[in-house]
Every structure is written in structure tokens, then in C-alpha cells.
Amino acid sequence: METSTTEQGRAYRGQAHTRVNVGPAERKASLAGGAALALSGLWSVGRRNYLSGLAMIASGGMLLYRGQTGHCGLYEAIGVDTVHTQESGLRIEKVVTIGLPPHQVYEFWRRLENLPRFMKHLASVQVTGERTSHWKAVGPGGLSTEWDAEMMEDTPGQQISWHSVGSADIPNKGTVEFKEAPGNRGTEVRVIIDYYPPGGTAGRAAARIAHGLNAQQLEEDLKRLKQILEVGEETTARRTVE
Amino acid sequence: MRAVCWHGKQDVRVDTVPDPEIVQKGDVIVKVALTCICGSDLHLYNGYVPTMKKGDILGHEFVGEIVAAGPAVTRFRVGDRVIVPFPISCGACWYCKHELWSLCDNSNPNSWMMEHIYGDTGGGIFGYSHLYGGYAGGQAEYVRVPFADVGLEKIPDGIPYEQVVLLTDIMPTGYQAAVYCNINPGDTVAVWGCGPVGLLAMKSAKLLGAERVIGIDRFPDRLQMAHSQCQAEVLNYEEVDVAEQLQNMTGGRGPDSCIDAVGLEARGTGIEDVYDLVKQTLHLETDRASALRQLVKACRKGGTLSITGVYSGFIDKFPMGAIFAKGLTLRGGQAHVHKYLPHLVKLVAEQQIDPSSIITHRMSLEDAPEGYRTFVKKQDSCIKIALKPEHAAQKSEPASA
Ligand SMILES: [Zn+2]
Ligand SMILES: [Zn+2]
């Protein structure tokens, strides 16, 4: 499986130095991400990973504070202001080869309700119109975010792309390409997801956590998609029915 | 049920654990009739394979009877006696379709681990760490076997379990090692390691037309077995300079093919052995390479190195210059058991080969801890241990879906 992750962009230097320098969307993300970090920190400490656990609790606590007060000391110190500036995105890109023709893989993906079957961070995708859908994602600790998405491009057997619309906590867009692989190997499925988290490195971290999606998970998601399409179900080493 | 569980380095115990069930449509439950301890289980026992967890059920060599089958199973029925290959293969991916069964794309649910370490994943393996999928093993009364239609092979009537239990792994592994040698008339094949796989590789090399086989080890009883069972000429590497002796025996050419049936816990001699042992103990090098270095040095120009001993990580001081200068071919990897099973079952049925001749110890499953101790210390001329579970009478069979 070929993989790549790129992070694009960084926060611009803010001009205005008001008390509130963390934008409302990021405040929400900070709250969610902070809670998640603190939770997983506690979990780590419970598992005796004291150092990393304590570090997570500390940074989680900082995010929580930031979300609640709308003020970030760190941001102020480094001159970042996400209320007044625009931020570019975080990109996750993965590709997998699946032993079925492009139109079959496309058909499966095009029924958007199928996505949560292999994308573990998604709780549900509901089709709400010809080009619109409602997405629900779950992060660690049961934190969830929801948004509406609109399909921008739909070329049967080749490509689907979508973007979030309205007041998404973390605006995002995605593209999936289906390309015939050489030598009868099936389809190369390439997924590119861009997030526009509100503000800087901390915002990006919060976005990852709030959405529960990172490059590693997308890679595992695509492996699951491959298993479902090639084998008929997700493979498991479980011994007993749960 | 009772099962042999890993608890830590050199600590295995027979525990009572829940019976397995049919989890997916293509599963069967096999009631284990006979199971073996493998040389590669000793790598787990000695703590050289990462990602083992307390309570993991060991064992990847087992045969038995199907006692429950999932709704999608079509080739088998309850009551069939079956051979279970140690690699788990989905039968649907590109690798399975090209008979590279042990490289299956889909059967390892923890594929990300190997992808991160090795660059890509192999298939799952029964009872062989979470790196290889975290499947429960066959040193138990019952096992859940996924993809039954893909992997299993029926045991013909009249053939006892003991004659086919080694077809689950070491017989096909030895056979593949010999196949990889591309044997031509007049060829000499040298085999490092006269353990179970080495012995069966020698038998296979003869079967595939090798004129001579040479067995290399340091244990006299193993060398004796290679000589008596495989008509091999033998070398004790503690007594002679192996590369020099092999040259002498082959008119100065060197063996046409060299099989490594030793793997990462190889022992050598002299300073080089101490170097590897120290580095491995300090975790600066994961695998000891003394045998592998000898193979490279001894092999004739343009010859083949067939690597079937288990290597898991990194090796220092690997003589790449010699591989280049002598134009050697390197082949290796887990055996694609499914590919060889029908042919090997036929050879057993026709009595052309009897792998059971290398089983030296027969024990109850309950004695597994003692078996592991005996095997790891190479005590009592131990080559291969077969364990027989004592199924309790009137025991309820595992539930089917
Ligand atoms: Zn084995
Ligand atoms: Zn496969």
C-alpha cells in the first residue's frame, strides 16, 4: 500500500491583538480536542504510560482552557490570530489497489451510506438529496461532529468529490479517484481529504482528534474497503462472536 | 477448552479458555487431533518475535476433524478430516490468485504493523503473534479456521493423522526450499540446519533430482538422522571449516544451491558468533547471521541461496559484495503451503514420502510446557514433538452459527 501525508499551509501572523484571538469554530474544536486529549491522557496514565499520559493531560488542559476562554497565551506569544485570519488545510492522501474493475468500486463508494462500513471515524452518512448528504463523525471518547456535504463532481467509474457546506466545525473536502490498475490488477483507489481546521498547529491537532481521522486510519480504512470488496466482509482474528 | 498459552519469555502454560465459535460465514471449527511444536515457535518462546501478548494461544501446525461449519463453506462438511495450512489466505486477492498464498493481502487484520516495519504485509498465521494477525493457534482442543474453502485439504481415508500433520508447515516449507533451488541433474544441495525443516528439505531435494545432499549442523544426533534418513553426507561446523570442506567435496566449485534452514537464532563459531550474540542480546541486531554468511561464501558462482529459516529483522555484516561478485540468486519467504498440499498428500498416499519419520516425541497437550523445554534445549535427541489433546468424553462441542 502506497501512502503519503502532506500538511499544507500555516497560520498567518495576526494583526489585531484582542483578548479573544481564537475563532469560534476553533474554540469548539479546541474543546472537543482538549477533552479527547485529556481523556486519552488519563487512559495512558491508567496504563502506566506516565510521561506521555501527563503530557497529553497538560496539552489537553491547555486546549480546554483555550476553548472555554477564547484566549490562547501561546497564540498571543507567537502572534497568531485565527479570528482575523484565514487558514489553509491539512491533507491526508492514501491509495490502495483493489482487485475489482473501477465501476464496481465506484458503485460501492457512490452509495455513500456504505462509507461508515469501512471508515471507522464515521458514525453515519445520510443521503439528503440528489447531491447532498449529512455526515456524522466520532472522535475518541465518543465526541462527535456533524456536517452537511455537497457533491461537486461525480464521474461514474472515475471520480467523486465533495465538500462540506454550511457551518461545519471543521470545513473539509474530499476526492476519491478510481483508476484502472495495469496488468489486470483491478482499481487504484486514491483518496484525498483536505481539512481546514481553524487555526495553527493546535487547531490541526484538534481537528485530527475531533474527526478521529489521521493518515494511519485512512490507510486501515482503505484496507477494510479492500477486504469488504475482495473477500465479502472485514477479516477478523476474533475467536468468538461478541 | 484447554490450550497452550504464551505468558512471557520461556513461560508457556496450559490454560482453560473459552471454546472458539463460527465468527464469519467461511469459518469452520476444527477439533484438533494432533498438533506440533515448531522450531519457529521457539522464536516466540525465546521472546524474539515482538507483539506477543499474555494469553495468546500458540501453534500453527495442526490437523483434525471439522465439528462445525459456517453457511458459506461448500467444500467441506462436519466430520471431514482436514489438514490446515499454517498461512491464512483469503483466496480472493491478487497474491492468492497468483499462488503466492502466504503473501495474502487480506488475511492479516493487523497488516499496518508489517507495512510499517517491512513496507508491506504478509498474510495472517495461526498462533504467531499479533504482527501476523493475532489469530489463535492450534495447540488447543479446538480452533477457528477462517477461509476454510480456500485453505484446507481433505485427508484421504486410511491415512493416519501422524503422517500428514507435518504437511501443515514443515514438509511444504522444506519442499519449497528445495523447489527454490531450481535443481538440475548432477546438482549438489547443501542444507544448513538438520532440524525438521532441514531434514525434509534434504528429502525433497532428493525427490526433485539432486544427486547429492549435504547436511550441516553441530548436534551429532541430528547429523546422524540426516545421514540415515536422507542419505546425506554430513558436516559438523564446530569441527571443520564448512566453506573449505564444501569446496573439497565439490571439486572446488561449491554446492549448486544452499538452503538456510536455521534462521535468526543461528549459532556460528568464533569471534563472529560472539559478535552476533552480543549485539542480539543488546538489541542492536535482531537476527544472528552466521549461517547466512557461510551460505554466501560456500555457494558456487551463479548458484541459489534458498532461505527458509525465519528472519525477523536486521542483520549486520551481510556479505553483499560476495553476492554481487558471485552472481548469486536469493529466494526466501514463508511457504505457500496451499500450492504444494495436493501434490504432497498424493506423495504421502503413494508412500513415496513419510514425513512422520522425523517425529521423535509424542506427548499429551497437557505436557506442552515440558515439550517446549525439551525442544529448546535440544535434549533427548528431540527433533519434532507431536501433541495430542485429551478431549474430555461427552464434552459439549462448540456452538455453530
Ligand atoms: Zn512451523
Ligand atoms: Zn489473499
Determine the residue type at A76. Answer: E
Give contacts of A226 with chain B, Cβ < 8 Å. 93, 105-106
Half-sphere exposure of B48 (CA within 13 A, CB side): 23
Residue B140 burial (CB count, 10 A):
31
Assess whether A165 and A113 both reside in one domain: yes
Given this model, what pLDDT does residue B63 score?
98
pLDDT of B98 > 50? The answer is yes
For chain B, the first-to-last Cα distance in angstroms comes to 18
* Cell, residue A92: 491526508
How many CB atoms neighbour CB B147 within 10 A? Answer: 26
Q: Are residues A196 and A173 in the same domain?
A: yes
| Interface touch A235/B93, C-beta < 8 Å | no
- Joined grid coordinates for residue A198: 481553524
Domain containing A153: what range?
90-231
What's the DSSP call for residue A11? P
Ligand 2 centroid, distance to A128 Cα (angstroms): 37
Calculate the average pLDDT of chain B: 92
pLDDT tens, per residue, chain A with 242 residues = 433 333 333 333 333 333 455 555 555 555 555 555 544 444 444 444 444 444 444 444 445 444 544 554 444 433 344 444 344 677 889 999 999 999 999 999 999 999 999 998 899 999 999 999 999 988 777 778 889 999 999 999 999 999 999 877 778 899 999 999 999 999 999 999 988 876 666 666 666 665 667 788 899 999 999 999 999 999 999 999 98
CA angle (B106 as vertex; B102, B112 as ends), nearest 5: 95
Residue B226 near residue B217 (C-beta atoms within 8 A): yes
**Same structural domain, A48 and A112:** no
User: Reduced to 3 states, what is the DSSP secondary structure of residue A20?
Assistant: coil
Assess whether A52 and A170 both reside in one domain. Answer: no
Q: Give the CB-side neighbour count of residue A51, counting CA atoms within 13 A.
A: 0
Is residue A41 domain-shared with residue A146, that is, in the same domain? Answer: no
Q: Is the dihedral of CA B208, B212, B213, B219 positive or negative?
A: positive
In eight-state DSSP terms, residue A216 is H
User: Is residue B322 less than 8 Å (CB to CB) from chain A?
Assistant: no
Residues 6+ apart with CB under 8 A from B250: B188, B300
Using DSSP bridges, classify how beta strands A144-155 and A159-165 pair: parallel, antiparallel or unpaired. Answer: antiparallel
Taking contacts as CB-CB distances below 8 angstroms, the residues of chain B near A231 are 90, 92-93, 106
Q: Is A138 among the domain residues?
A: yes
Per-residue pLDDT, A48: 44
Q: How many angstroms separate the CA atoms of A169 and A158, rounded?
A: 30
Contact B97 A99 (CB under 8 A): yes
**What distance, in Å, lies between the first and last C-alpha atoms of chain A?**
30
Q: Which residue of B has its CA nearest to A218?
A: B112
Per the document, the length of chain B is: 401
- Give the end of a domain, one of A35, A54, A78: A78
Same domain, A96 and A58: no
Q: Is residue A33 part of a domain?
A: yes
Residues in CB range of A180: below 8 A, 6 or more apart? A101, A102, A186, A187, A188
CA distances from B331 to B181, B266, B364 (A): 8, 18, 37
Sheet holding B11-16, edge to edge: B11-16, B2-8, B56-57
Q: Where are the alpha helices (DSSP H) in chain A?
A: 24-46, 50-69, 73-78, 102-110, 115-118, 200-211, 215-230
Residue B372 distance to chain A (closest CA, Å): 25
CATH architecture for residues B2-169+335-393: Alpha-Beta Complex (3.90)
The Cα–Cα gap between B118 and A71 comes to: 45
Residues B136/B144, Cβ–Cβ less than 8 Å? yes
> How many A from CA of B333 to the centre of ligand 2?
16
pTM of the full predicted structure? 0.81
Identify which of B92, B124, B135 has the shortest CB distance to residue A230.
B92
Please determine, for residue B393, whether its predicted confidence score (pLDDT) is greater than 70: no
CB B143 within 8 A of CB B136: yes
Q: How many CB atoms lie within 10 A of CB B271?
A: 8
Query: Can you give the CATH number for the domain in which A146 is found?
Result: 3.30.530.20
CB A88 within 8 A of CB A181: no
- Nearest Cα neighbor of B169 from B59, B45, B306 is B59
Residues around the ion ligand 2 (C-beta < 5 A): B 89-90, 93, 96, 104, 106
Query: With 0-12 CB in 10 A as exposed, 13-18 as middle and 19+ as buried, what is A103?
Result: middle
CB B235 within 8 A of CB B215: yes
Is A231–B92 a contact, with Cβ atoms under 8 angstroms apart?
yes
- Distances in Å between the Cα of A23 and the Cα atoms of A164, A170, B6, B55, B400 are 19, 12, 53, 49, 56
Contact between A232 and B18 using a beta-carbon 8 Å cutoff: no
Question: Could you tell me how many CB contacts below 8 A there are between chain A and chain B?
Answer: 69
Alpha-carbon distance of B357 to B384, in angstroms, equals 10
Where residue B285 falls among pLDDT bands split at 50, 70, 90? low
Which pLDDT score, from 0 to 100, does residue A28 have? 55
- Cell representation of residue A220: 486501515
3-state secondary structure chain B: CEEEEEEECCEEEEEECCCCCCCCCCCEEEEEEEEEECHHHHHHHCCCCCCCCCCEECCCEEEEEEEEECCCCCCCCCCCEEEECCEECCCCCHHHHCCCHHHCCCCCCCHHHHHHHHCCCCCEEECCCCCCCCECCCCECEEEECCHHHHCEECCCCCCHHHHHHHHCHHHHHHHHHHCCCCCCCCEEEEECCCHHHHHHHHHHHHCCCCEEEEEECCHHHHHHHHHHHCCEEEECCCCCHHHHHHHHCCCCCCCEEEECCCCECCCCHHHHHHHHHHHHCCCCCCECHHHHHHHHHCCCCCEEEECCCCCCCCCCCCHHHHHHCCCEEEECCCCHHHHHHHHHHHHHCCCCCHHHHCCEEEEHHHHHHHHHHHHCCHHHCCCEEEECCCCCCCCCCCCC
Residues A48 and A113 in one domain: no
Give the mean pLDDT of B387-395.
78
Q: Are residues A135 and A164 in the same domain?
A: yes
C-alpha cell at B159: 491415512
Q: How far is the CA of B62 from the centre of ligand 1 (A)?
A: 10
- What pLDDT is attached to residue B104? 98
Residues A65, A150 within the same domain: no
> Same structural domain for residues A131 and A51?
no
Q: pLDDT at position B25, please?
A: 95
Count of domains in chain A? 2
Q: Is the pLDDT of residue B245 over 90?
A: yes
- pLDDT score of A80: 41
Residue B227 scores a pLDDT above 90: yes
Task: Render pLDDT for B143-162 as a digit per residue (tens, 0 to 9).
Answer: 999 999 998 999 999 999 99
Rounded Cα–Cα distance for residues B109 and B5 (Å): 21
pLDDT at A169: 78
Is pLDDT of B81 > 60? yes
Domain shared by A72 and A108, yes or no: no
Q: Where are the domains of chain B?
A: 2-169+335-393, 171-332
Tell how far the Cα of B52 is from the centroid of ligand 2, in angstroms: 24
Kind plus residue range of the DSSP H or E element containing A23: none
- How far apart CA B161 and CA B82 sit, in angstroms, is 9
Q: How far is Cα B246 from Cα B191, in angstroms, rounded to an integer?
A: 11
For residue A68, the CA-to-ligand 2 centroid distance in Å is 50
Query: Are residues A97 and A62 both part of a single domain?
Result: no
Is the confidence at residue B352, as pLDDT, over 50?
Answer: yes
What are the start-end ranges of the E strands in A76-203? 90-98, 122-127, 132-138, 144-155, 159-165, 172-180, 187-195
Model pLDDT, residue B210: 98
Residue B287 near residue B315, CB atoms below 8 Å: yes
C-alpha cell at A58: 497538560
How would CATH label the architecture of B171-332?
3-Layer(aba) Sandwich (3.40)
B271: pLDDT strictly greater than 80 = no
Which amino acid is located at B271 in the chain? I
Could you say which residues from 99 to 118 on chain B have a Cβ atom under 8 Å away from some Cβ of chain A?
Answer: 105-112, 115
